[in-house]
Amino acid sequence: MKYLDDGRRVFDLEIKALMDTKDSLDESFSLFADSLCKCEGRVIFSGIGKSGHIAKKITATMQSLGIKSYFMHPAEALHGDLGMITKEDTIVAISNSGETDEILNLIPTINKVGTELLCITGRNNSTLARNSKMSIILPPMEEAYLDSVPTSSTTATLAVGDALAVSIAKNRGFEVKEFSVFHPKGTLGKRMTLKVEGMMKKNSENPSILSGSTVKDAVLEMCKKPIGGTNIVDSNGVLLGVFTDGDLRRLFNRNPENAMSSTIDDVMTKEPVCISPNILVYDSIDLIKEKGLSFFPVVDDDKKLLGTIRLMDVVKSGLMED
């Protein structure tokens, strides 16, 4: 179909733009990145229209990598937002033509404050490039439609922004642990920070009965707190065993008449597989997969019951998808 041909042509043109941009990078890229890396204030990105959207995305990437940055809309800047900039900041203006009025109108105030101005543009001799301390100049490229709709150029600019962000982060020694701090709700953040104690059922949600109770007591507890079973503890809260839905079915198959009145100690699973509250959930996944159980008691070093972690919750967290 023609749709497919047209779609693939867009990919071809944008891939070529990316390769040409990669090949065009030289020592000026290193100087540009080093300037941003050494910025004592904030890296401020600005652009309007499609360039503004790209600037926002680059800003978000910088922020996620611990680089102090924010987006400044050039039109809003002319109506007061310029008051946010300081001499310690660095502004990166993005304009493919380098002649965007809203961007150029910022230059007098930027110069007055003494803020360093850098730019990413497609024209080396543009007004923006001439007024910037450093520039990354995109090579000539064909836009994917009518050779005028911002497509190839915005893709290339976004890639340059990613390259700058990653280069700076690597130079600063930014690692996965730091990244996870800025993504506490993402899968990576949970992988690096979420401990078993943060996911386990505890207190009133944690099913447990005392040693000496009956199977009937266990069933009632399992109905009130449906996690697939219940824990059995002694009077000091020390875990003695577990009783699962599977244990209940097997008991009824063996002895249906006396099942409910049976003493739980006689039918529970003793010495169950337990998990420490202080390990990362991600680090417990191999054990959880290996055992294939629906829940695991969480105990301290003295075997006192602290909570229960469910297979269902681990699966829902997305941590088992790898």
Q: Which of 129, 146, 174 is the last residue of a domain?
A: 174
Mark whether 133 and 217 lie in a shared domain.
Answer: no
Mark whether 117 and 245 lie in a shared domain.
Answer: no
**Domain carrying residue 100:** 2-174
Mark whether 239 and 304 lie in a shared domain.
Answer: yes
With H, G, I as helix, E, B as strand and everything else as coil, classify residue 70: strand
Asked if the structure places residue 144 within a domain, the reply is yes
Asked if the structure places residue 45 within a domain, the reply is yes
Q: Cα(87)–Cα(80) distance, rounded to whole angstroms?
A: 17
Number of domains comprising the chain:
2
Asked if the structure places residue 33 within a domain, the reply is yes
Q: Which of 141, 174, 207 is the last residue of a domain?
A: 174
Asked if the structure places residue 188 within a domain, the reply is no
Mark whether 217 and 303 lie in a shared domain.
Answer: yes
Mark whether 302 and 273 lie in a shared domain.
Answer: yes
Mark whether 101 and 216 lie in a shared domain.
Answer: no
Mark whether 67 and 215 lie in a shared domain.
Answer: no
Asked if residues 216 and 261 have their Cβ atoms less than 8 Å apart, the reply is yes
| CATH code: domain of residue 73 | 3.40.50.10490
Mark whether 148 and 231 lie in a shared domain.
Answer: no
User: pTM for this structure?
Assistant: 0.67
With H, G, I as helix, E, B as strand and everything else as coil, classify residue 233: strand
- Which residue in 218, 220, 212 sits closest to 231, CA to CA? 218
Asked if the structure places residue 244 within a domain, the reply is yes
From first to last of the 322 residues of the chain, give the pLDDT tens digit.
Answer: 689 999 999 999 999 999 999 999 999 999 999 999 999 999 999 999 999 999 999 999 999 888 999 999 999 988 888 888 999 999 999 999 999 999 999 999 999 999 999 999 999 999 999 999 999 999 999 999 988 899 999 999 999 999 999 999 999 887 655 555 555 555 666 666 788 999 999 999 999 999 999 999 999 999 999 899 999 999 999 999 999 999 999 999 988 888 999 999 999 999 999 999 999 888 888 888 888 888 999 999 999 999 999 988 888 888 776 5
Q: Cα(140)–Cα(316) distance, rounded to whole angstroms?
A: 47
Burial class (CB in 10 A: 0-12, 13-18, 19+), 21: buried
Element (H, E) at 33: helix 27-37
With H, G, I as helix, E, B as strand and everything else as coil, classify residue 145: coil
Residue with tokens 């990919």: 11
The predicted-structure confidence for 123-173, as pLDDT tens digits, reads as follows 999 999 999 999 999 999 999 998 889 999 999 999 999 999 999 999 988
DSSP state, residue 239: E
Asked if residues 313 and 284 have their Cβ atoms less than 8 Å apart, the reply is no
Mark whether 200 and 157 lie in a shared domain.
Answer: no
Asked if the structure places residue 234 within a domain, the reply is yes
Mark whether 161 and 207 lie in a shared domain.
Answer: no
